[in-house]
Structure 1
Amino acid sequence: MVDDRLRPGTASDEVTSASTAIEAAVLDNDRYRLLVENIVDYAIYMLDPTGRVVSWNRGAQRFKGYADAEIIGEHFSRFYTPEDQATDLPRRALQIAATEGRFEQEGWRVRKDGSLMWAHVLIDPIRGEDGTLVGYAKVTRDLSERQATKAALQQSEQHFRLLVQGVRDYAIYMLDPRGRITSWNKGAQRFKGYADEEIIGEHFSRFYTEEDRATALPARALRTAATEGRFEAEGWRVRKDGTRFWAHVIIDPIRGEHDELVGFAKITRDVTERKKAQEELDATRARFIQSQKMEAIGQLTGGVAHDFNNLLAVVLGNLHLARKRLPHDRKLLQFIDNSIQAAERGATLTKRMLAFARRQELATGNIDVPELVRGMAELLQRSIGSTIPVGTQFPLQLPLAFADASQLELALLNLTVNARDAMPLGGTITIGARDERVIAEEVAGLKPGRYVCLSVTDTGEGMDEQTLARAADPFFTTKGIGKGTGLGLSMVHGFAEQSGGRLILKSTPGQGTTAELWLPEAETGNLREDATQPDPALPALQALTVLVVDDDPLVLMNTAAMLEDLGHAVLEASSGEQALRVLRRTDDVDLVITDQMMPGVTGAQLIEAIGSEYPALPVILASGYAELPEDQLAGIARLSKPFGQAELARALVGTLRSEGQVLAFRPKHG
């Protein structure tokens, strides 16, 4: 008989199969338990329905610091901070897991040693086959490092945000890819004038000038930044109130993880003050270079005028002597007179050149300005033409000015012609004068004192600030080619400065120009005492012995010839040293005439030596220069080059008269 337990498909087989399944299940449970218990990167443990710990894996031990024996049976709320315990978070977490099937959260948890860790927590309910709650599965992961990194990143972002927002010297803001503003810092608000709510969302092109927008500069700037990685430039930008400032601009593209363009970072700095400082530095450098050029031109002009004066002195002297000796031939005398007039015009030109160089010897005297203007009325009207009327405005009483009358006439003629040229469509010219007083502070470079201000006003085109600033510069002119030398106003300026006054120009575009010539007021004297009045007949002099000193042989010969023609004996010397040797050889010299500009010993040095050795010997200094050592030449008679025989004779008489000597008496020295 066969045992039923050994037959396939019997109850015995079922028992064996069930036993195998149980063993497999137990084995699976053991494997699962081993798997969970050996996980070290997660804390995985079980809670009973009240929240007490019933299992503990290695990960929980590593994170929390408790061994199995220390924590099994304890309530899991000890892992929560006092703040979370105060809000009953542990109980609420279990309740949420039981009712909603899951509880998940990140937050601070407490280790055994009291330190905190940032944990990701997941709580799932565990239920029996009948749905009864038998406990909770709790999985915790330590995210402290990630949280620290995140916190550091947030702190860094916050610091950067505070830094950007707090910067006031730079406008730092963001643009989207289309150029619309997405952020705005305090520096941007200070430079541009817009508050956040006014500008966020607006296009940044509103900061550009109309000229830049017309050339599509904003779009080109973004395109350059996007394609080349950077845009940098300087230019004018516009504030909210419409004013402009000079800005240094940098635009950088901002790209995402996949190199897609997400926007632009724009940094703007207001460098208006730096630009102004650079412009002032450039202008100062230009003025310095210009002053060096003008100094060189002035020296060249003065040197040329000095040599030209010597030549004109010879020409005029010889012409006058030749005219006296020629037979009475009307045609021949006319030629001589024409030559004399041409030479005198050349002498006038040298005076203007020396006025420009400020080296002219001025024949100053008292001038009745209204009378001088009336005396020039015909000349002025003829010079400017009949289509432009000239009016005058003078007070009933005006003090006398102290200046060179001939130079003042030239200056007035120059200013009047300039006024005419400024009115191509016609207009009027007004010549006026007034009494002015400068008290304590200097006015436009004038020293305190009283002045006569002669003005020429036109109703012409006027000048802008840039043109006005350069109007008196040598060789600067607004006239067409061949219509102006650019020396007119500079010569007037030189004459005014040398006279102790000032040329002041006032002008407004479209409203005309006023040129004011300020001249010192005469302190004493009147018109009858004016040096410009005709001299009385010169008294005859007894024959003198005159020592003439000049390094130019032509001038020396010409001066000697004029003196001999006047009946005087002449001794010649070509240098100061030679003149002293002549004086030491003889005591027959009655008077010395010396040039100033000589190599070696100058005229001033020669006069000083003569004054030391021969204090009673009169000396005349012949020169065309105004820049002479006045401290050495006080009381010394002057003879302005070029001079003719009449000027030479007057100088002889004036010198001997000032010395208090009898004109017919020959002084003795020794």
Structure 2
Amino acid sequence: MSEGMTAGEERGTILLVDDEAEIVTALYDLFEDDYEVLSTTSPSEALSLLHRHPDVAVILSDQRMPGMNGDQMLAAARAHSRAEALLLTGYADLDAVVSALNKGRIAGYSPKPWDPVALRGMVSGAHERWRLARALEKERSLLHGLLDHSPDRISFKDAQGRFIRLNAAKAASLGSDPRSSLGKREEDLAGLDATTRRDADRAVFRDARPTEEVASEEGEGGARFLSIRRVPILQNGKVEFLATVEHDVTEQRELEGRVRQAEKMQALGTMAGGIAHDFNNLLTAVIGNLQLASRRLPEEDGRLRRQIHNATRAAERGATLTQRLLSFTRQRDLDMQDVDVNALIVGMEDLLLRSLGGLVSVTTRLAAEAGFARIDPGQLELALLNLCINARDAMPGGGRILVETRGLLVGEGEASDLSAGRYVVVTVQDEGQGMSPDVLGHAFEPFFTTKDVGKGTGLGLSMVYGFMRQAGGAVRMQSTEGVGTTVELFLPSSRASALSRKENEEQGAGDNPIGSLDILVVDDDAAVREVTVAFLRELGHRVVAVEDGSSALHQIGERPGLDLIIVDLAMPSMSGSELAEEVRRRWPGLPVLLMTGFAKLGGLPGSFVIMHKPFTQENLQNKILEVMSKG
């Protein structure tokens, strides 16, 4: 017995079995140029060879052999080999051939002595059948692997739209299973109005071109979006079948929506930041002059006082509107603090009652473990007030607003819009009219509002969105028409065991007598400069004012006794930050207070106290105390 060469991938492997060594040698010589040849004179050894060489393509065996006939050996070989079987026989024994056909499933037989050309042709045909069978088996394995394990919905249809193959995911979407779905159409299984999909399928059969579309469907968790790829399958140049692959792209669509929203905010922020800066300069002059004028009015002139008071309130509302612009465009720096969120909400109860009216009740459900958040308390209060006012407006006949808190731990990669870490979640829920999916998709866009003209700016939710993004958190909204709306704020948690917000305010309160100071005011806007100087002089300070950085440096050099410089951040030629850096370099002990109508503070030379425009005299006094207390 000899084994011949090792089986390879380039040439097929055949196994020769005959109890006569001379015949084995003759067959070996006949086939060794075209195949890898294994050979043996023992049927049992042939079975062992098949165990060790599962890639044998053709078995060529004698019929009559001692111990085990060829048909018996081939029948045993079927248990662990898919090789094509050919039988050699030197006897005209029809019964033996029939037995070999039945038991060994032989593909052909040849008498002895054989015709070399005919026998080579028989073996070549058998090898080709084996190769094609292997290729078909491979294709089937790949197809079944794809169908069985792909999370996508995959199906194959004929020209009448009937399923000829589909996977479990596709069948489950139709409320069925793969076996029961065969031969049926989608509308047969789910009772769907499948006109749109049927027309799309027919277009692929007609045009013989693949197509792709995104479709939506309603599910238990809301709307889902599917990318549907249709591919024609041709036979003899004609489209006979259609393959469809449906991939769930809901998460991708949501992420794209958030990216588009962020891009809108960035573009609008560039525009709104410049507008807000100029507007804040105007409001500083208006509010400041009104405040100064009100102190000079005769006490008995009540009518004029009311007019000035009304004008001041209108200007302050303009300042609030500008603040919202800066918040949703992330153009304003935040006063980040460790805030007890539950205490902040409790402290807002009176404000909410006064603001919302008697038809709406506010219920709180505050979890003790919610804890502290690292957030700007003023901006959080404004955000909650906006959400509650929106909730009230959604319930014109009255109703209940639920404000709830809880703690949440987010793992790495669990949420696309949140970093891993702990959050305090504040939920505002109403029982109002709710929103349609289309309105919900635009809810956070600036200036988008469903309220009547004059009743809404469309900036409330945009401000909340921008504030949460800037603070490192997120905002999510769910709404159902006729049921209500739920908004969740995800606030970055703080593990601080520091003083509560109220205690911090009390600790920071109190007098800090600094006396009369020599102050230099630097602002290119004459109206703002004039109001600032007037405020400072009323507070008892000695003031010099200039309009640009170069004049300021000259004055500082000429006045060694200066105690403080108040500088506008945005000025031509030399910006406030550049001036502050130069002052810190040349006069390191001279305090600087920066004031700004917007605040993109990246790139400042160091930590400075910032005062936002518009400001009142009280704001200015508090900021001076703050900057001077820093030494």
Q: In the aligned structure 2, how far is the partner of 1:204 from the partner of 1:608?
A: 74
Q: Could you tell me how far 1:180 is from its partner in structure 2? A: 7.6
Match of 1:595 in 2: 568
Is residue 554 of structure 1 aligned with residue 527 of structure 2? yes
Amino acid at match of 2:364: T
CA contact (8 A) 2:331 2:600 kept: yes
Amino acid at match of 1:250: P
1:268 to 217, 239, 242: 242
Is residue 303 of structure 1 aligned with residue 274 of structure 2? yes
Match of 2:39 in 1: none
Q: How does 1:299-448 map to 2 (within 5 A)?
A: 299-328=270-299, 329-362=301-334, 373=345, 376-377=348-349, 379-394=351-366, 404-423=376-395, 427-433=399-405, 436=407, 445=418, 448=421
- Runs of 5+ in structure 1 lacking a partner? 1-80, 90-106, 119-143, 238-242, 256-263, 660-670
Q: Could you tell me how far 1:336 is from its partner in structure 2? A: 1.6
Match of 2:26 in 1: none
Where 1:580 maps in the other structure, the secondary structure is: helix
2:559 to 586, 608, 629: 586
Q: For the structure 1 residues 645 and 245, does the alpha-carbon distance in structure 2 shift closer, same or farther, using more than 3 Å as the test?
A: closer
Amino acid at match of 1:292: E
Q: Could you tell me how far 1:423 is from its partner in structure 2? A: 4.3
- RMSD of aligned residue pairs (Cα, Å): 5.3
CA contact (8 A) 2:155 2:244 kept: no
Q: In the aligned structure 2, how far is the partner of 1:220 from the partner of 1:154?
A: 36
CA contact (8 A) 2:88 2:112 kept: no
Match of 2:92 in 1: 86
CA contact (8 A) 1:405 1:532 kept: no
Q: Could you tell me how far 1:382 is from its partner in structure 2? A: 4.9
Q: In the aligned structure 1, how far is the partner of 2:258 from the partner of 2:214?
A: 26
Q: What whole-Å deviation, never above 9, does each CA across 1:88-112 have from its counterpart, x for those lacking one?
A: 89xxxxxxxxxxxxxxxxx999999
Match of 2:461 in 1: 489
Where 1:541 maps in the other structure, the secondary structure is: coil
Q: What whole-Å deviation, never above 9, does each CA across 1:477-500 have from its counterpart, x for those lacking one?
A: 566777654422231233344456
Corresponding pairs, count: 507
Q: Could you tell me how far 1:431 is from its partner in structure 2? A: 2.6
CA contact (8 A) 1:388 1:427 kept: yes
Q: Could you tell me how far 1:312 is from its partner in structure 2? A: 0.8
Q: What whole-Å deviation, never above 9, does each CA across 1:536-566 have from its counterpart, x for those lacking one?
A: 5675833x43211112222122222333344
Q: Could you tell me how far 1:455 is from its partner in structure 2? A: 3.5
Q: In the aligned structure 2, how far is the partner of 1:598 from the partner of 1:490?
A: 29
1:457 to 418, 429, 448: 429
Q: In the aligned structure 2, how far is the partner of 1:637 from the partner of 1:219?
A: 64
Is residue 248 of structure 1 aligned with residue 230 of structure 2? yes
Q: In the aligned structure 2, how far is the partner of 1:149 from the partner of 1:528?
A: 93
Question: Which of 1 and 2 has greater Rg?
Answer: 1
Q: In the aligned structure 2, how far is the partner of 1:216 from the partner of 1:653?
A: 71
CA contact (8 A) 2:609 2:623 kept: yes
Q: In the aligned structure 2, how far is the partner of 1:211 from the partner of 1:340?
A: 62
Amino acid at match of 1:302: G
Q: How does 1:618-657 map to 2 (within 5 A)?
A: 618-629=591-602, 632-634=605-607, 636-657=608-629
Q: In the aligned structure 2, how far is the partner of 1:320 from the partner of 1:494?
A: 32
CA contact (8 A) 1:392 1:431 kept: yes
Q: Could you tell me how far 1:611 is from its partner in structure 2? A: 2.0
CA contact (8 A) 1:458 1:514 kept: no
CA contact (8 A) 1:471 1:489 kept: yes
Q: In the aligned structure 1, how far is the partner of 2:160 from the partner of 2:615?
A: 83
TM-score, normalised by the number of residues in structure 2 = 0.63
Is residue 568 of structure 1 aligned with residue 541 of structure 2? yes
CA contact (8 A) 2:373 2:492 kept: yes
Amino acid at match of 1:248: R
Q: For the structure 1 residues 415 and 83, does the alpha-carbon distance in structure 2 shift closer, same or farther, using more than 3 Å as the test?
A: same
Q: Could you tell me how far 1:651 is from its partner in structure 2? A: 3.2
Q: Could you tell me how far 1:314 is from its partner in structure 2? A: 0.9
Q: In the aligned structure 2, how far is the partner of 1:322 from the partner of 1:377?
A: 35
Where 1:531 maps in the other structure, the secondary structure is: helix
Q: How does 1:114-125 map to 2 (within 5 A)?
A: 114=115
Where 2:263 maps in the other structure, the secondary structure is: helix
Where 1:607 maps in the other structure, the secondary structure is: helix
Q: Could you tell me how far 1:648 is from its partner in structure 2? A: 2.3
Where 2:465 maps in the other structure, the secondary structure is: helix
1:524 to 472, 477, 498: 498
Q: In the aligned structure 1, how far is the partner of 2:139 from the partner of 2:335?
A: 72
Q: Could you tell me how far 1:313 is from its partner in structure 2? A: 0.8
Q: For the structure 1 residues 159 and 206, does the alpha-carbon distance in structure 2 shift closer, same or farther, using more than 3 Å as the test?
A: farther
Q: What whole-Å deviation, never above 9, does each CA across 1:227-273 have from its counterpart, x for those lacking one?
A: x6858666899xxxxx9994524266889xxxxxxxx8633334334
Where 1:606 maps in the other structure, the secondary structure is: helix
Q: In the aligned structure 2, how far is the partner of 1:565 from the partner of 1:601?
A: 29
